[in-house]
Chains A and B, each alone.
Chain A
Amino acid sequence: MSGSTSDAAIAGLGITEMGKVYGRSTTDFGADAIIRACTDAGLDLHDLDGLLTNSGLTGGVGLWLQRELGLRDMRLLSEIQGFGSSAGAMVAMAAMAVASGTATTVACVFADAPLTADRGAGAAYAASRPPLPTGFAGLPDAVGLSGANPYYALAARRHMERYGTTSEQFGHIAVAARQWATMNPRAQMREPMTLADHQASRMIADPLHLLDCCLVSNGAIAVIVTSAARAANLAQPAVHVLGWAQAHPGYSMQKGSDFGLISGAAQSGPAALKMAGVTVDDVDIREIYDCYTYTTLISLEDYGFCEKGEGGALAASGALAPGGSLPTNTGGGELSGYYMWGMTPLSEAVIQARGQGGQRQVPHHDVVLVSGNGGVLDYHATLVLSPHARS
């Protein structure tokens, strides 16, 4: 398994302190994550010749990170924005840059710090409102559609109406994520949680309870992408980037629209797996963007881990939880772990592919699927990672 000389691998992972960490700027988190990722890889900061940044809500990382860190002679430098699909897009772009010789060593970083000591997570992610909403742009707010919760609730309800999916089935996804999180020292929510706890949690946007919704976190995560050949000689086990794809459905939002029923994973999943030369049955671990329990469910269906409409039954079967047949979101995901957009599933995928998951390590970790989802199911990216080079 020598692999192609042009194949890329993730050689470094940097995760800052995470969660309710106040008093640090987004730039500071981002710079910290890049330095940690370089240290993790056994690289010097000045080995970097590529930098891709993805800013969360607070807009605090961008091209200026180059100057902040004193990085000279960069061959690749760009700000990437695809919301929850950004992490997958950054790694894919970095892999293509490495393959083409555009750059040799590319840092990809996400940072955000929406939480402040004086307001809650909900307020942090509520859309900022203009003083007097004007014209058509004011219509969503005027009818009560503000922030992501109601839109995802609309999507989830449509799935329930079409396929008979239930709130309890969503609850099983939250419980499984929490079971994994209890074994992840980095997870923000590590107290055990039951299905009854899920059902009793406050209703946010029916059918979504509080425990159907992700966390909000301050922090940053970076990965370093370089050639597979070089990664093999660095400090950490190389995590090979075998496949990638994006899919952005552009829902028509008119008669016949698939909104709420089919996500971009239905397109990006098969494409990324094909590039990797594996099938869905070869996937050992699933790291799925879980801004809501519903997002995990529809993504699993669209990747083909069950038939369309059977995601609820799959969740209720216990397959996703520790000890189950389809280990999913093994660090607790965004629901119970930490919310770093697409870096949440990507970071846990790197940890698992390396075999560094400690108590929560999944024994078989040859093929790890990473799923990113942004907007309201609008933007999708998939990565296929492996500790083994392309065969």
Chain B
Amino acid sequence: MTVGLIARDDESSEFFNATAQNTLLVQRCEHCKHLQYPLPFAASVGRCRNCGRPDLSWQPVSGFGVLITWTHLHRKPSKAGTPTPVTTVAIVELDEGPWVHTQLRHIPETLHAGDRVVVAFERTAAGEAIPVFENGSMIRPRH
């Protein structure tokens, strides 16, 4: 489990204000009500990926979802032969619909598509809190 540093910019400041408060936000289109996770491209200006319009606002989500797919990333072994950490990255489908490219932590030995997961926030000393997901089968959504 390791996450990297991210510095906020104008477009992401509200999102990272929320992650600092343990809340996950998604973008909501004011025009067609489409929900989406922000597109991770530098060139993206934040338009609705359903209707193309730029009128997006932020909306909190429950943080619950299901596992769509995952991969355990293995680093090149060290020359000394000591074990290297394995990072598990995944696509999670939020109960509200959007997919999130994320990292998993505190996961069981075996994973299956459809496993319930819940958001958590991984903090680094110098960077923003980053949404990750962990086993959510034991936790009920709050209403």
Contacts and interface: CB of A to CB of B under 8 A. Distances in A.
Interface stretch (A8-16, A98-106, A139-147): A139-147
Contacts of B53: none
A184 B44 CA distance: 44
Query: What is the size category of the interface that chain A forms with chain B?
Result: 35 or more
A317 B49 CA distance: 42
B6 interface: yes
Interface in A235-259: 252-255, 257, 259
A146 to B, nearest CB: 9
A253 B8 contact: no
A135 interface: yes
A255 B5 contact: no
Nearest to B35: A254
Contacts of B4: 133, 138, 141-144
Contacts of B91: 154, 158, 253, 259
A206 B70 CA distance: 8
Contacts of A150: 71, 73, 89
Nearest to B130: A142
Across the A-B interface, give the 7 residue pairs with the lowest CB-CB distance, nearest first.
A153-B71, A158-B69, A161-B113, A135-B9, A206-B72, A142-B4, A143-B103
Given A254-B97, A254-B99, A137 B41 contact: yes
Interface of B: 2-9, 11-12, 15, 35-36, 38-42, 44, 49, 68-74, 76-77, 87, 89-91, 93, 97-99, 101-103, 112-113, 127, 130, 132
B53 to A, nearest CB: 17
- Among A134, A139, A161, the one with the most B-chain Cβ atoms within 10 Å of its Cβ is A139
B71 A206 contact: yes
Contact of B49 (A133, A202, A252): A252
A154 B70 contact: yes
B6 A134 contact: yes
Contact of A255 (B9, B74, B93): B93
Contacts of B103: 143-144
